[in-house]
Every structure is written in C-alpha cells, then in structure tokens.
Homo-oligomer: A and B are copies of this chain.
Amino acid sequence: MKRVAIISYGMTKVDKHWDKSLRRLFGEAALMAMNKVNIPKIDAIIVSNMCASDLSDQNNIGTIVADELGLTPITAYRVEAACGSGGAALLTGFSLVSSGMFEVVMVGGVEKLTDNIGKMATFSLGKAADAEYELFYGATFASLNALLMNRYMHVYGTPREAFADFAVLMHRNGSKNPYAQLPFEINREIALNSEFIADPIRLYDCAPIGDGAAVVILCPLEVASKYSDSFVEIMGIAGASDTINLGSRDDLLSLRATITAANNAYKMARITPADVDIVEIHDTFTITAAISLEDLGFCERGKFDKLLNEGAFEPGGIVAVNPSGGLKSRGHPVGATGVYQAAEITMQLLEEAGKMQVPNSEIGLTHNMGGVGSNVYVSIMRRAR
C-alpha cells in the first residue's frame, strides 16, 4: 500500500455560475490545479457530483470532463454518495494511487444547483434521503435536521443562541475567503431573527445552495517531490455508512457514521483528535456542526455551546474549525463540497491561505457527510514538504 500525497489543488468561487456550464466550471478548477505544478500527465480522473442528472440532464460526467480537458482516452468516471460524494471520490482516488494502478490521479467535484433553483434543486437534494420512507412523506433535509436540533436543545438544555453564534463565527471566517459564496459578516441578532425554514432551524442555520468545482491532484508520496516543491500526505482516510432513514437510528444526537469513519481514519493516521490543528467539517446546518464536533472527538457531548463561547473552535483554541467559512459561508455545492474541504486543508497546511491562514497548522482533517449522517468520509492530512 503506497503512501499518497496531494500535490496540488484548485477551486472556483462558490456562486451562481449561470454563465458557465458544468464542464467549464470543472475545467476552471482543474486548470488552476494543473498550472500550479509541473505535471506532464494525468492518468485518471474521479469526479464527484450528485445532481447533474436532474439539473443539467447529464450523466457520464467522467467522460465529459476528460473530454473538456483534452485528456481522453484516460480512465474517468463519477462517484456519488449524495453530499458525501467528494469524500467518496477522494477515497477512490487514494485507492487508485495507493494500489499502484495509476500514478497521477485528479479527484474533482463539480455541482451546478442554481440553474434550477427552488423546488427542483430542493427535490433533487432530497434524493439523498430515503425516497420510499422519508421523501415520499414530504420530508426535506431542513425538516429532518430540525428534529435533531430540537432534540439536542431538549436533552442538553443548550440555548438557541449557541447555534446563532456558530453561524456568526462561520461568516466571520468566510468573510476572509475569496472563494466563499457568502463572504460577509453577520451578528447574533441577524441570525436569530432570520426567517424560519423548519422550526427551530432558521435561514442562517442553513448552508446556501450554490455552484462550484474543486480539484485536488494525488500521486504516490515517494514521487511527489518530482512534481511539486510543496505537498501534503494523506495519513488516514475512511468512509462509513448508517441507516438511510432517521427512524431506524438508536440515537439522534450522535452520528454513528462519523464516529466509525473518524476512528478508522485516526487509527490509520496513528493520531488522536488532540493532534489535529485544523478541520473542515460538514456544517450543512448549525446543529450538524455541534454533533459532528462531538462525534469527531473535539468536544464533550452537550458542551458545544460552552466550548464555542470559550473560543475553542478558533485559531489558538482546541481546533480551528472551518477557516474557509464552512458550508454555512463558503457554500455547499453538494457533490463538490468534500473536495473543497480537501483543497482548503491542503492550502492551509501549505500556508497559502492568505487572510484565512491559521498559523502553525501541521495536521488537518476533513469531515464530509451524505444525508443526515447516512454516509461520512473523514481524511487526515499532514504537511509533508
């Protein structure tokens, strides 16, 4: 099993990209990544995407992007695990390099959601839930997460304000991110008074819907210095699943897929949560952030608000959470989100993150989730140059 490096990354701003097609958007991120390093070849492309079949009438996206980049006849195909697609694609790319089947593998995510904004995008995203036992009864992702948030506040007595404060922190981080969809600051009052989406979830508890593409380029660690002066190593990577519908879970306040994937990734990387300096977590909703930080081992159960108030999730605290602004502020182009996270952690560890830079970051972690924790992918990177 070869050790695997990320030697480059690229991304577009998350936005309403009405003037760019799916393939063009991917190409923009891919060219940014390819131009940063000295690579004479790409051997395979793994593309993550969830909604193109619904919203762009397009499948077979591996071929589409290989063709757009002039890279045919290389191996190229799509990986899908709902909002966890990017993490699953990264795991696939890792495996293709690690096995020795390919040397240089591009892992890229792309999503265009805003061409058909509104009901069509919401319905398409709902297909990450159980079509027969959840979607059929009118459930949306906001309403499913509202169940978790109510339960969390009931069991732990956490004040509503804590979730607003997390949104405030995410927007503060995102305001420094040139690739963020919502790069502006908010305050607690704005968050608390924003409109209801699914009680108790309000607008500023939710990730926005956006378009975007992100790319990372992988190769064996042993040859990484041939292609680039600076790179990171993927020390650990793992994926896990859970029951598709919430009704089958024993516990709504802990996501078994996060715990399993995180434990396996920590074990593979031979580290503990205390070794992690920086994370990009999957905060689809502010409640998802709270539960995920607990499941990842950065926070005792029910202590999310206490640690948040103490600054534990900011640089210099326990762990710097989502310097990109996370799904809340950077945005959530669903099938691409997991690759954005990997690109952002790489950028941080290489100290190329500009105003977002968290000083002295040696080890970073990505946490990418599909459904309401029905699949989770965790990866752990270390500065290697």
Contacts and interface: CB of A to CB of B under 8 A. Distances in A.
A371 B74 CA distance: 15
Interface stretch (A75-83, A286-294, A353-361): A75-83
A155 interface: no
Interface string A235-247: 0001111111000
A374 B60 contact: yes
A62 B89 CA distance: 13
Interface stretch (A124-132, A156-164, A166-174, A316-324): A124-132
Given A60-B374, A375-B63, A81 B74 contact: no
Contact of A101 (B98, B100, B240): B98
Contacts of A370: 60, 63
26 contacts: A1-B100, A44-B239, A53-B127, A58-B127, A60-B82, A60-B129, A60-B374, A62-B241, A63-B241, A63-B244, A64-B130, A67-B243, A67-B248, A72-B240, A72-B257, A73-B256, A73-B257, A74-B240, A75-B239, A76-B239, A76-B375, A77-B79, A80-B80, A92-B92, A98-B99, A98-B101
Interface of A: 1-2, 21, 44, 50-51, 53-54, 56-64, 66-67, 71-82, 84-85, 88, 91-92, 94-96, 98-101, 124, 126-132, 135, 238-244, 248, 256-257, 260, 370-371, 374-375
